[in-house]
Structure 1
Amino acid sequence: MGKGGKVDQTETDLADDQKLKVYKWQEIKQNKWIVIDNLVYDVSRFSRKHPGGERLMLNHAGQDATDAFTCFHNDMKKVSKYMNPIRIGRVQPESDINPNEERKAELHKDFQNLKALAEKKGLFKANMGFFLLHFMQLIILDLIAAYIIYKSGYANWFTYSLAVACLVIVQAQAGWLQHDFGHLSVFKSNKMNHLVQNIIIGGIMGFSAHWWNYRHYQHHAKPNTIKRDPDIRFGVLYLIGKVIPIEYGKKKIGKLPYNLQQFYFFFTLPPLLIPIYFVIETVYFLIKKRKLHEIMWISIYLLRWYAMFVPTLGFIGTVKLYFLVRFFESFWFVWSTQISHLPMTVDYDKDLSWFRSQLNSTCNVEQSAFNDWVSGHLNFQIEHHLFPTMPRHNYYKIAPDVRELCKKYNIDYQCKTMSQATIDIYKCLKESGEMWYEAYNM
């Protein structure tokens, strides 16, 4: 990889690029091609074979996807084998550059330099001891929970509660750990990253790695973007941001009392997301995509739970334990992730620069040993979104440089206390609900 994350090119390659057909941006947008390092790619067919899913690539159709491309991929030599055959031309240099576009290009250059600085500092190298300890945490707590249930069962409410707490921690921390491997931020080998991710999310958590990556990469590519980010597709349950509520209000859509969503949100999404919605979505995804090998990993999880708990609790008791653990895990997951995104800007795709779009839709929570652990270091959500393949234990090292770049371009870098971030969820839901109510009753 070259400076700033660019794909290494030989002199022959560069000479060949100069011979390519030149396209104007108007034609690129019309044909829904993508641009990477000023080169034009026709992804209409390749997008169907793309490991991240067709939708992920097409979400950048007609746009410059350079920053997204370099931030998602850590093996440029391998990627270039797939990109070279679909390269069709290069972008025509504009004679009159719009001042906003010129500023966007300058920010792009500065961000690529920041990424090169992070590479020079070795911030994309993982500490294997760190991830091994987190993996051992899962195994040890899982065994402790199984031992407690085996010895006590329902006999003692305190010991049963302790076992539930251990299992909830296992599931929540496994979620953060599989997330690391899903972003290819641990091993140099993508195959090893995917293998360990399958072991954790499949064998320990009972979910599909491919399903998670498919929806999560879309979130990273276009966070808080209407019709692009699956994490804000709430249907008619909740209205967030300042755009959708007014649209619904003007169209007189009032299937729920959205002016009260700041109350019913906490009794619906947090407890139901993982035990109900994610389970249904996973099953549907696996059947649709025919991912038989991932069904094998989930089967290992189910057999493991059967062997650990059915002999003591019985089948019904094990099912109750399952949903109890999922209930608390869901609260943990929703709370940890939504404090960084829900109160931020939610809008249609404005084709902003990678750096600006991530800062508009993401905020941080103050660093502490507890905040780092409970959120899987996603309290550094800004740094994670800017550098998704960076190992999480290095986020704090690049954070000062990110702040400096924000100051240069007058971009708001939000870092909140945990309590303030939690309160802001209530506030943003209340504000959006009131906007809908006013528009609805005009």
Structure 2
Amino acid sequence: MAQAYKQVSQVVKETGLLRRAGWFYIFVGTALAIALGGVVTGFILLGDSWLQLLMAGALGIILTQVAFLAHEAAHRQILSSGPANFRLARILAAGVVGISYSWWDSKHTKHHGNPNQVGKDPDIEVDTVSFLETDAAKSRGLVRLITRKQGWLFFPLLTLEGLNLHYLGVKHLVTSKKAKGRWIELGLIALRFAIVLVPVFLMLPLGMAFAFMGVQLAVFGVYMGASFAPNHKGMPIIDPSARLDFFSKQVRTSRNIRGGWWATWLMGGLNYQVEHHLFPNMPRPHLSKAREIVRDYCAANDVPYTETSLGRSYAIVIQYLNRVGLAAGADPFDCPAVAQFGRA
């Protein structure tokens, strides 16, 4: 399969699917700006009312959509130059969403290079939830109790993921010696939180203000987690010593979500995870056409190509996490990670 990526890439280049789609991102950006303006207007007009929680939920959805744009800018999908994309990604991530672009970029780059590979993909490292039997077996105390039922608890735990993303980003900026744009991002994040928190706690009663922020963070966390989890969780885990060609590694560890345009809008293009991993700088509107090329190539060459419904993907994730969770409390040496592709 060493030549597979070159062959598919050639077809993709000839069809022009790597060209920019500025019109699309102008439309999305404008739509999100109008939506955000609507939430601000609604917040002002509603005043001291528990209906503000609807505004909080809407804000969580909008911020997730902005995070999708930050993700695309970081992959150089939106603007014509790399530096311009990176500046846009930093503004959107830190200044609007409130998470560190530097932290996310360093983590996400490693993930793209080694998806689902033990010891190399930070997205399968333990963070309350265990994605590997060895990590589940090492869990203790409260984490062990959670791990045993982590599949069923996965979505409830995502209500805390928004808060976790903010925390991990700030922690990286404060403690990491390699944090890029440290002071710029800390300044943007501080300004962003001031713009959000000051009006909320000035205009709403204290209890309602905390409820507003709780709902916003919960919706943001669930939406983010529910969009990223179906992509790789429950797909083959690669042994740390395994050697796979780029095409096989990316296709075999990724899962697409059926649904067409509505899934693309809902998940910010992450529903075409296979194509995104093969062509990370491909703009969102072109991924569906790339899917046809990649899927046909895989079918002709007997390469497993995984695609399922959104609901089925969640069922797979829950089943996988519950299966991993069975190792909680066991001797870690009795539960080695399964090397699904063998050793080189």
TM range (shorter): 0.7 to 0.9
Distance, in Å, in 2 between the alignment partners of 1:292 and 1:382 is 35
1:119 aligns with 2:13: yes
Greater relative contact order (Cα < 8 A, sep 6+): 2
Asked if structure 2 preserves the Cα contact closer than 8 Å seen for 1:372 and 1:379, the reply is yes
Could you say which residue in structure 1 is the equivalent of 2:256?
A: 364
1:263 aligns with 2:263: no
Distance, in Å, in 1 between the alignment partners of 2:19 and 2:256 is 23
- 1:55-70 to 2 correspondence within 5 Å? none
Consecutive unaligned residues in structure 1, runs of 5 or more: 1-106
TM-score where L is the length of structure 2: 0.86
**What is the CA distance between 1:116 and its match in structure 2?**
2.4
**What is the CA distance between 1:147 and its match in structure 2?**
1.3
> Secondary structure of 1:379's partner?
coil
| Range with bigger deviation, 298-307 or 312-321 | 312-321
Structure 1 pair 122/308, CA: closer, same or farther in 2 (3 Å)?
farther
Supply the AA of the counterpart residue of 1:141: A
Picking from 93, 99, 106, the partner of 1:207 is: 99
Asked if structure 1 preserves the Cα contact closer than 8 Å seen for 2:276 and 2:287, the reply is yes
Picking from 396, 401, 419, the partner of 2:293 is: 401
Picking from 219, 223, 234, the partner of 1:332 is: 223
Structure 1 pair 211/239, CA: closer, same or farther in 2 (3 Å)?
closer
Distance, in Å, in 1 between the alignment partners of 2:302 and 2:330 is 32
Asked if structure 2 preserves the Cα contact closer than 8 Å seen for 1:146 and 1:308, the reply is no
Asked if structure 2 preserves the Cα contact closer than 8 Å seen for 1:144 and 1:163, the reply is no
Supply the AA of the counterpart residue of 1:227: G
| Range with bigger deviation, 361-370 or 411-420 | 361-370
Supply the AA of the counterpart residue of 2:82: N
After superposition, what is the alpha-carbon deviation per residue over 1:90-123, rounded to whole angstroms, capped at 9, x for unaligned? xxxxxxxxxxxxxxxxx23231132122122211
Asked if structure 1 preserves the Cα contact closer than 8 Å seen for 2:170 and 2:186, the reply is no
> Secondary structure of 1:108's partner?
coil
Could you say which residue in structure 1 is the equivalent of 2:81?
A: 189
**What is the CA distance between 1:189 and its match in structure 2?**
0.9
Picking from 278, 281, 291, the partner of 2:168 is: 281
Picking from 208, 211, 225, the partner of 2:117 is: 225
**What is the CA distance between 1:263 and its match in structure 2?**
2.3
**What is the CA distance between 1:315 and its match in structure 2?**
6.9
Consecutive unaligned residues in structure 2, runs of 5 or more: 336-344
Supply the AA of the counterpart residue of 1:279: H
Could you say which residue in structure 2 is the equivalent of 1:424?
A: 316
**What is the CA distance between 1:346 and its match in structure 2?**
1.9
Could you say which residue in structure 2 is the equivalent of 1:385?
A: 277
Distance, in Å, in 2 between the alignment partners of 1:229 and 1:301 is 30
Distance, in Å, in 1 between the alignment partners of 2:207 and 2:329 is 44
Asked if structure 1 preserves the Cα contact closer than 8 Å seen for 2:103 and 2:172, the reply is yes
**What is the CA distance between 1:435 and its match in structure 2?**
5.8
Supply the AA of the counterpart residue of 1:208: S
Distance, in Å, in 1 between the alignment partners of 2:73 and 2:149 is 39
Supply the AA of the counterpart residue of 2:91: I
> Secondary structure of 1:339's partner?
helix
Supply the AA of the counterpart residue of 2:42: I
1:347 aligns with 2:238: yes
Distance, in Å, in 2 between the alignment partners of 1:248 and 1:397 is 39
Asked if structure 2 preserves the Cα contact closer than 8 Å seen for 1:365 and 1:416, the reply is yes
**What is the CA distance between 1:215 and its match in structure 2?**
0.8
RMSD: 2.4
**What is the CA distance between 1:239 and its match in structure 2?**
3.4
> Secondary structure of 1:126's partner?
coil
Distance, in Å, in 2 between the alignment partners of 1:278 and 1:233 is 15
Structure 1 pair 398/311, CA: closer, same or farther in 2 (3 Å)?
same
Structure 1 pair 324/408, CA: closer, same or farther in 2 (3 Å)?
same
1:239 aligns with 2:130: yes
Structure 1 pair 424/189, CA: closer, same or farther in 2 (3 Å)?
same
Distance, in Å, in 1 between the alignment partners of 2:202 and 2:160 is 28
Could you say which residue in structure 2 is the equivalent of 1:44?
A: none
Structure 1 pair 264/166, CA: closer, same or farther in 2 (3 Å)?
closer
Higher-Rg structure is: 1
Asked if structure 2 preserves the Cα contact closer than 8 Å seen for 1:259 and 1:430, the reply is yes
Asked if structure 1 preserves the Cα contact closer than 8 Å seen for 2:258 and 2:310, the reply is yes
**What is the CA distance between 1:414 and its match in structure 2?**
0.9
Supply the AA of the counterpart residue of 1:396: S
After superposition, what is the alpha-carbon deviation per residue over 1:9-46, rounded to whole angstroms, capped at 9, x for unaligned? xxxxxxxxxxxxxxxxxxxxxxxxxxxxxxxxxxxxxx
Supply the AA of the counterpart residue of 2:166: V
1:131 aligns with 2:18: no
**What is the CA distance between 1:283 and its match in structure 2?**
1.2
Aligned residues: 325
Distance, in Å, in 2 between the alignment partners of 1:316 and 1:194 is 38
Asked if structure 1 preserves the Cα contact closer than 8 Å seen for 2:100 and 2:166, the reply is no
Asked if structure 2 preserves the Cα contact closer than 8 Å seen for 1:125 and 1:186, the reply is no
Could you say which residue in structure 1 is the equivalent of 2:43?
A: 149
**What is the CA distance between 1:280 and its match in structure 2?**
2.0
